[in-house]
């Protein structure tokens, strides 16, 4: 196995050979060390190690076992910040209680805002579409650090738990511009935005709005949008209709796995997480503890992720040669046990040896990668930020308080609740205009068929619209103080008008 540069202590020592590019590396858990060994073996055979040094970064199950709830050592964080690059195998994460996902933590900590995945039919990998002669070849760009993946959750009542979904205009702009810039580099002519703006009109609505805005800078690229559920159906029916799809975080996660299924599974799906300062290249499949240590795991996903990394740092020639060798190997029927084939399956390192033996060969049943001349590292690590960077898209937009949504924990029936709340706000600037339960209006009108739980949103708005802009949020806070004397409060949200438009949504049925 290729030797890694070992680091100790909080500060990681960089490789002594300054002519090589340093890349942080963590083999991963479960099958991770086996598939990483296979990939590094191929890299060495292709001459990659003449240009890069891999520096070990400690993270994963060992760190969780030490009581580190993040699963990432201080040494690993320091090494990643120093190199700006991380190549990682699959990571184990406690399910339910315990530590957070390492994958999500790394992406968010280092602002790797765009997840890029390529889904392509591979020779020798039999799927429904390969049998039907339908080519699959498209990219998914997933926003990586916002949405429900903020992991902001609270228990509000005995029966209700919430998860906050945060979508920002700067976050949307970053991922959309990345998608269009990547489409340019790859020669992609059509970019599709997928969303659920028909239901989540403000969050997904913003995602779609910013997509259309950024698209104006790329008039040579055709754009369209599709609702997420329709996209999933279309991908199963006609995946060849798409070239690149850009999505919010959670939807992008689901679609990425769906797309992996179209090409044979996560074992054939590479992944890159790109930020302005740090880029992470990883296998996104599981750690497969049931086969760990048996030497039979498929290294293809990690290898393909590594090829995206090589292109990212400038070793495009080496990446193309390895890619063609992989395709030629699969064409020859050489495969691991997770792939059906006429030949007996080979073990992990036997597969790596076969790819190394095919270096310099071209596939004949599919389009080979163009082997150019770019074979020197061109990656320049950005300078370390000196402080947290604040991003703004919309500035100097006038906003005025127009009311408040107060969330209460009670089992009181809606009309009785309304009577008490109307009495509370009788002498103030606000009036009760809405009570909803799980997002559905139950007062002033509703249906007794609407089942309710112990968690209400009660909305107060200005009695006199002419008061807009003449009061601040203090009266809304005062109203909250009066409501909390009678009810258990679980949340509070001032309502504002932004440039004359409501900064809040209607309830279902309102």
| Extents of the domains making up the chain | 1-112+275-390, 114-262, 399-502
Strand 52-56 relative to strand 21-26: parallel, antiparallel, unpaired?
A: parallel
According to DSSP, the residues that pair with 300 across neighbouring strands are none
Task: Say if residues 197 and 208 touch (Cβ distance below 8 Å).
Answer: yes
Q: Which long-range contacts (CB under 8 A, 24 or more apart) does 61-66 make?
A: 61/29, 61/92, 64/92, 64/94, 64/98, 64/99
Task: Say if residues 361 and 324 touch (Cβ distance below 8 Å).
Answer: yes
Measure the CA–CA gap between 119 and 113, rounded to whole angstroms.
Answer: 20
Q: 321-346 burial, b if ≥16 CB within 10 A, otherwise e?
A: bbbbbbbbbbbbebbbbbbebeeebb
Measure the CA–CA gap between 196 and 203, rounded to whole angstroms.
Answer: 9
Domains 1-112+275-390 and 114-262 are alike in CATH topology: yes
Measure the CA–CA gap between 462 and 458, rounded to whole angstroms.
Answer: 14
Environment class of 217 (CB within 10 Å of its CB; exposed 0-12, middle 13-18, buried 19+): exposed
The CATH code of the domain at 399-502 is 3.30.70.1570
Distance of alpha carbon 184 from the chain centroid = 21
Task: Say if residues 123 and 315 touch (Cβ distance below 8 Å).
Answer: no
Whether the bond into 133 is cis, omega within 30 of 0: no
Q: Which CATH architecture has domain 1-112+275-390?
A: 3-Layer(aba) Sandwich (3.40)
> Is 114-262 a domain of CATH 3.80.30.20?
no
- What does the radius of gyration of the chain's CA atoms come to, in whole angstroms? 27
Q: Which two tokens stand for residue 136?
A: 């699959």
Measure the CA–CA gap between 245 and 262, rounded to whole angstroms.
Answer: 15
Quote the pTM value: 0.91
Measure the CA–CA gap between 479 and 36, rounded to whole angstroms.
Answer: 59
Per-residue pLDDT of the chain (510 residues; tens, 9 = 90+): 444 544 333 334 444 456 899 999 999 999 999 999 999 999 999 999 999 999 999 999 888 888 888 899 999 999 999 999 999 999 877 665 556 688 888 999 999 999 999 999 999 898 999 889 898 999 999 999 999 988 899 999 999 999 999 999 999 999 999 999 999 999 999 999 999 999 999 999 999 999 999 999 999 999 999 999 999 999 999 999 999 999 999 999 999 999 999 999 999 999 999 999 999 999 989 999 999 999 999 999 999 999 999 999 999 999 999 999 999 999 999 999 988 888 999 999 999 999 999 999 999 999 899 998 988 999 998 888 889 989 999 998 999 999 999 999 999 999 999 999 999 999 999 999 999 999 999 999 999 999 999 999 999 999 999 999 999 999 999 999 999 999 999 999 999 999 999 999 999 888
């Amino acid at each position: 196995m290729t030797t890694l540069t070992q680091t100790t202590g909080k500060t990681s020592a960089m490789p002594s050979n300054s002519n090589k590019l340093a890349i942080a590396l963590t083999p991963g858990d479960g099958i991770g060390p086996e598939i990483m060994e296979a990939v590094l073996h191929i890299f060495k055979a292709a001459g990659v190690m003449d240009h890069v040094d891999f520096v070990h970064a400690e993270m994963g199950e060992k760190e969780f076992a030490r009581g580190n709830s993040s699963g990432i050592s201080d040494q690993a964080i320091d090494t990643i910040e120093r190199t700006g690059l991380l190549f990682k195998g699959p990571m184990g994460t406690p399910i339910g209680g315990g530590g957070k996902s390492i994958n999500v933590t790394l992406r968010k900590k280092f602002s790797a805002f765009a997840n890029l995945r390529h889904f392509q039919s591979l020779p020798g990998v039999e799927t429904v579409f390969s049998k039907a002669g339908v080519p699959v070849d498209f990219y998914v760009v997933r926003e990586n650090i916002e949405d429900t993946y903020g992991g902001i959750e609270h228990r509000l009542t005995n029966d209700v738990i919430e998860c906050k979904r945060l979508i920002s205009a700067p976050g949307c702009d970053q991922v959309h511009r990345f998608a269009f810039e990547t489409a340019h580099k790859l020669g992609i002519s059509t970019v599709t935005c997928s969303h659920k703006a028909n239901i989540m009109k403000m969050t997904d609505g913003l995602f779609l709005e910013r997509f259309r805005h950024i698209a104006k800078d790329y008039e040579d690229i055709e754009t369209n949008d599709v609702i997420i559920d329709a996209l999933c159906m279309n991908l199963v029916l006609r995946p060849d209709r798409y070239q690149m799809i850009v999505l919010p975080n959670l939807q992008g996660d689901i679609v990425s796995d769906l797309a992996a299924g179209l090409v044979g599974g996560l074992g054939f799906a590479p992944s890159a997480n790109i930020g302005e300062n740090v880029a992470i290249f990883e296998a996104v499949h599981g750690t497969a503890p049931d086969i760990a240590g048996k030497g039979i795991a498929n290294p293809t996903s990690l290898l393909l992720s590594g090829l995206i990394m090589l292109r990212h740092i400038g070793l495009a020639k080496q990446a193309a040669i390895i890619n063609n060798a992989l395709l030629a190997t699969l064409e020859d029927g050489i495969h691991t046990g997770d792939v059906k084939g006429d030949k007996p399956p080979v073990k992990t390192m036997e597969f790596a040896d076969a790819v190394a033996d095919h270096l310099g060969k071209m596939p004949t049943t599919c389009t080979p990668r163009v082997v150019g001349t770019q074979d020197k590292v061109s990656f320049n690590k950005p300078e370390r930020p000196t402080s947290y960077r604040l991003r703004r898209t919309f500035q100097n937009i006038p906003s005025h308080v127009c009311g408040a949504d107060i969330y209460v924990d009670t089992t009181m029936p809606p009309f009785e609740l309304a009577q008490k709340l109307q009495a509370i706000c009788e002498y103030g600037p606000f009036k009760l205009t809405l009570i909803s339960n799980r997002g559905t209006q139950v007062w002033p009108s509703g249906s007794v068929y609407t089942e309710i739980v112990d968690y209400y949103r009660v909305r107060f708005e200005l009695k006199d619209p002419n008061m807009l802009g003449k009061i601040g949020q203090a009266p809304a806070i005062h109203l909250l103080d009066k409501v909390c004397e009678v009810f258990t409060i679980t949340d509070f949200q001032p309502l504002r008008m932004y440039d004359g438009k409501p900064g809040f949504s209607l309830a279902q049925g309102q």
